[in-house]
Structure 1
Amino acid sequence: MAESVRVITRCRPLNDRERGLNSKICVEMDPTSAQVTLKSDGPPKTFTFDSVYYMDATGEQIYNDIVYPLVENVIEGYNGTVFAYGQTGSGKTFSMQGVNSVSSQRGIIPRAFEHIFLATATTENMKFLIHCSYLEIYNEEIRDLLGADKHQKLEIKEHTERGIYVAGLSMHVCHDVKTCHELMDKGFSNRHVGATLMNKDSSRSHSIFTVYVEGMLENGSIRTGKLNLVDLAGSERQSKTGLFIASFFVVYLLFHRVTDFVKYKSKRSRKD
């Protein structure tokens, strides 16, 4: 069913550069109240979120608390989106990708892939087909990172049945977790990146990797859920593209929210 947008804050430890500059931690977190307090030269400032995680939180903990229910809903035919927002070097990639060599610190993306394929393989009385797509938004232009022509500019369209979609975006069948990772790696290699003081391979673009989970019931009816995994450029790069990406997500995600609400009401009416 449709849920509210949730905002989660995660604090990372100091990196080597910051330790070399004798930087100090200026953040305090209270998981019980979901509050973050910033301490600097002036008065402390406190902000409240849906959940907060300090630097000792693991990727496993964050996935189980936050993302697991979202992916379960996707398998049920709803739409979900996960994206990390923050300055370059703030830990977005660590949260999304994680460290595969340390089981507890594997990120959201590999866990979501495994979750989807395990759940669809063990669900009875249903057949599933999984597709993926990968697009990039750079300089207010949309490109297909997995398409034959990676330089072709794509357009956002609206259809009475399909709703809002990106015309010409290629779809790729995924039979297993490995294929999903291969497609993501292939698309990532085609993205615009550039060196910054904080990250030598910082993304200069926004991208959306979408997993489409299409399930066929015994009666032949089909339900489709979509998981959008969004990688935003560092927030310091968004002065020019911020309005475009904001308007894109508002329209794109609002449509999916309305679609999920209609699906939910339809299921409730059938039960009643």
Structure 2
Amino acid sequence: MAYGQTGTGKTYTVGSLGKDDPSERGIMVRALEDIISNTAPANDIVEVSYLQLYMESIQDLLAPEKTNIPISEDPKTGEVSLPGASVVRVKDLDHFLQLLQIGEANRHAANTKLNMESSRSHAILMVFIRRAVQENAVDEMISQEKASRADLPGRNSVPIVRRSKLLIVDLAGSERIDKSGLSSDTVHLK
């Protein structure tokens, strides 16, 4: 999570695309580059959602017509989800860069005395990874996990899918209103 005053480089550090120079890629691009290089399309699915929290409302940056997206929690698992948010399967790094460009074009920004393109919203990249574990990989699992699976009836007929979720958050700038020159209508973030 990136936090700090407007103009300190949070959005650059987290979300820079590094189109002309790969060494200038931000955390989002570097993380997806690493994830994609360590996945195989035959066994793995990588999906993303890109959202913003602006004026106490969640908006989908990949489908900006989707606003006021609710947050729900599964009472059994405690898993938090955002029903209605776009979840896009990532084909490769270039596809992900295109998605980030779309999202950034839809993100709220304003000029301040401290920054010409100040992000006025919190941006949240959610990365979902699912991996189907092959039977030979199951044999290599730790003994405790194997023992617990051995007790399950029909264990060979149940596919094993491992899931991960990565959240990368770029918070809106924090600053004193008198120094930034913002008006009260652009500072409603919490």
Query: Does the alignment reach a TM-score above 0.5?
Result: yes
1:232 counterpart residue number: 171
CA deviations over 1:66-123 (Å, ceiling 9, x no partner): xxxxxxxxxxxxxxxxx2111111111232245554454432222112101111149x
Written as runs of structure 1 = structure 2, the 5 A alignment for 1:82-231 is: 83-98=1-16, 99-121=18-40, 127-147=43-63, 149-150=65-66, 152-159=67-74, 160-161=76-77, 163-219=79-135, 220-231=159-170
Point out 4+ residue stretches in structure 1 off by more than 6 angstroms. none
- Whether the aligned pair in 2 keeps the contact of 1:135 and 1:207 (CA below 8 Å) is yes
Amino acid at match of 1:208: I
**Mapped partners of 2:7, 2:127: distance in 1:** 26
- Whether the aligned pair in 1 keeps the contact of 2:51 and 2:125 (CA below 8 Å) is yes
- Whether the aligned pair in 2 keeps the contact of 1:139 and 1:241 (CA below 8 Å) is yes
**Mapped partners of 1:112, 1:120: distance in 2:** 13
Amino acid at match of 2:69: L
CA deviations over 1:142-195 (Å, ceiling 9, x no partner): 111223723x31111111246221121111111101111111111111111111
SS in 1 for 2:5: coil
Task: Check 1:84–1:192 CA distance in 2 against 1; reply closer, same or farther (3 A cut).
Answer: same
The sequence identity of aligned pairs, in percent, is 38
- Residue 225 of structure 1 deviates from its aligned partner by 0.8
- Residue 197 of structure 1 deviates from its aligned partner by 1.3
**Mapped partners of 1:97, 1:170: distance in 2:** 19
- Whether the aligned pair in 1 keeps the contact of 2:121 and 2:189 (CA below 8 Å) is no
**Mapped partners of 1:178, 1:148: distance in 2:** 21
* TM-score, structure 2 as length reference: 0.73
SS in 2 for 1:235: coil
CA RMSD, Structure 1 to Structure 2 (Å): 2.4
- Whether the aligned pair in 2 keeps the contact of 1:146 and 1:183 (CA below 8 Å) is yes
Count of residue pairs the alignment pairs up: 156
- Whether the aligned pair in 2 keeps the contact of 1:184 and 1:209 (CA below 8 Å) is no
* TM-score, structure 1 as length reference: 0.52
- Residue 128 of structure 1 deviates from its aligned partner by 0.2
1:241 counterpart residue number: 189
- Whether the aligned pair in 1 keeps the contact of 2:46 and 2:89 (CA below 8 Å) is yes
- Whether the aligned pair in 2 keeps the contact of 1:204 and 1:237 (CA below 8 Å) is no
Q: Which runs of 5+ in 1 are unaligned?
A: 1-82, 243-272
- Residue 237 of structure 1 deviates from its aligned partner by 7.5
Amino acid at match of 2:28: I
- Whether the aligned pair in 1 keeps the contact of 2:61 and 2:104 (CA below 8 Å) is yes
Task: Check 1:109–1:163 CA distance in 2 against 1; reply closer, same or farther (3 A cut).
Answer: closer
